């Protein structure tokens, strides 16, 4: 997947024009995008480009957890922690969804097709005083969301993409899918979530990225 | 070896911009395992921002987020970062 390294020179050059700089991260993956002109503007949030590709961004090495060692748990502010083995998880009712996804690095992908277990299904019968969730993952990644953004048919734990098992580089065996927020909230390699009374910032939210991340309000960074 | 992995040298320009010095030859010590090595040789991943990881134990050494004219730098994973200003010019 041709990585294009753009180091110091272009970045210094772009500093003269903050807008241009914002469009050129220090290291470009060179994926192809097009402006929103040819996609309906009610589908593409401000500042985003539509891509046909599915770029891979990763904060760390790709884990390869064996399914027999995989589980998903809900912990924290619950009466009893819940845990599903892979077999138990896959026995839960599933949903097929077609959604648009929006990465904070400015690409959007329309009509992506997923299959997963609704977070509503996972939370069935769980009593909690927590109003926030901190999904956690293989590799140590975390992110934070209000629980109400994970319920009401808005979020899934997805195990298939485009009719195939989710590839490890895209978060397989399972990733969170929360399409109405920037895609860093859709944590890859998710293994569970801790429910909490307070909104504790996750891996990126502690270091510059927005605590909520609504793409329609361009909530990319602190203070946006 | 992960296909998506780069090394610290790929971020040389950004690091120089932030620290005002050539940083790939600076020596960082991992807070988690104590391994010391040149910043240019650590593992670098690009997620929503840049993540520098220890080549020995994969722990996060440093995170950098670039947002317009702002930069956020998380150095919690470094026990020490040694710069030689004579080298870093």
pLDDT tens-digit readout, A118-128: 999 999 999 99
> pLDDT 10s digit of each residue in chain B, 89 long?
577 899 999 999 999 999 999 999 999 999 999 999 999 999 999 999 999 999 999 999 999 999 999 999 999 999 999 999 887 55
Judged by CB atoms closer than 8 Å, whether chains meet at A208 and B49 is answered as: yes
Q: Indicate the domain borders of chain A.
A: 64-217
Chain B residues 8-67 with a CB less than 8 Å from chain A: 9-14, 16-17, 43, 45-51, 53, 58, 60, 63, 65-67
A-B interface: how many C-beta pairs under 8 angstroms?
108
Interface test with B, best of A13, A208, A211, A221 (most B CBs within 10 A): A208
Write out the two tokens for B50.
Answer: 């840049």
pLDDT in tens, A163-215: 999 999 999 999 999 999 999 999 999 999 999 999 999 999 999 999 999 99
- Of all residues in chain A, the percent with pLDDT exceeding 70 is 82
Q: Domain ranges in chain B?
A: 6-82
Interface of A with B in 136-195 (CB under 8 A): 140, 169, 182, 184
Task: pLDDT band for A25, please (50, 70, 90 cuts).
Answer: very low
Angstroms from A120 CA to nearest CA on chain B:
27
Query: How far apart (Å, rounded) are the C-alpha atoms in residues A183 and A223?
Result: 19
Enter the ipTM: 0.95
Q: How many CA atoms lie within 13 A of B33 on its CB side?
A: 12
Chain A residues closer than 8 Å to B2 by CB: 58, 61-62
Over residues A59-79, the mean pLDDT reads 97
Q: Which CATH number fits domain A64-217: 1.20.120.430, 3.90.420.10, 3.40.50.150, 3.40.50.300?
A: 3.90.420.10
Which residue spans within A41-196 are E strands per DSSP?
49-50, 71-76, 82-85, 95-102, 107-118, 132-137, 145-146, 156-161, 164-165, 175-177, 190-196
CB of B61 closer than 8 Å to CB of B50: no
- How many residues are given for chain A? 224
Is residue A164 within 8 Å of A143, Cβ to Cβ? no
pLDDT at position A33 over 90: no
């Amino acid at each position: 997947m041709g990585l294009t390294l753009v180091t110091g020179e272009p970045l210094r050059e772009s500093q003269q024009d903050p807008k241009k700089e914002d469009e050129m991260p220090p290291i470009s993956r060179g994926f192809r995008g097009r402006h929103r002109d040819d996609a309906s503007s009610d589908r593409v949030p401000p500042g985003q480009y539509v891509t046909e590709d599915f770029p891979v961004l990763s904060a760390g090495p790709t884990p390869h957890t064996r399914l027999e060692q995989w589980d998903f748990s809900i912990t924290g502010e619950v009466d009893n922690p819940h845990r599903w083995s892979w077999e138990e998880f896959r026995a839960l009712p599933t949903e097929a969804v077609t959604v648009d996804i929006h990465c904070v690095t400015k690409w959007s992908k329309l009509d992506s097709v997923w299959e997963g277990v609704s977070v509503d299904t996972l939370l069935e019968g769980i009593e909690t005083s927590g109003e926030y969730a901190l999904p956690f993952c293989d590799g140590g990644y975390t992110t934070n969301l209000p629980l109400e953004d994970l319920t009401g048919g808005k979020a899934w734990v997805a195990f298939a993409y485009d009719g195939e098992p989710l590839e490890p580089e895209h978060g397989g065996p399972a990733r969170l899918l929360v399409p109405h927020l920037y895609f860093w909230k859709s944590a890859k390699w998710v293994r569970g979530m801790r429910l909490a009374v307070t909104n504790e910032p996750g891996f990126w939210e502690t270091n510059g990225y927005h605590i909520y991340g609504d793409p329609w309000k361009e909530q990319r960074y602190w203070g946006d | 070896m992960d296909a998506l992995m780069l090394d610290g040298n790929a971020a040389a320009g950004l690091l120089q911009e932030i620290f005002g010095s050539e940083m790939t030859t600076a020596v960082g010590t991992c807070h988690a395992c104590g391994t010391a090595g040149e910043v240019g040789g650590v593992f670098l991943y690009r997620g929503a921002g840049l993540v520098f990881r220890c080549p020995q134990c994969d722990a996060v050494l440093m995170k950098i987020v670039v947002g317009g004219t702002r930069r956020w730098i998380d150095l919690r994973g470094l026990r020490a970062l040694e710069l030689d200003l004579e080298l870093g010019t």
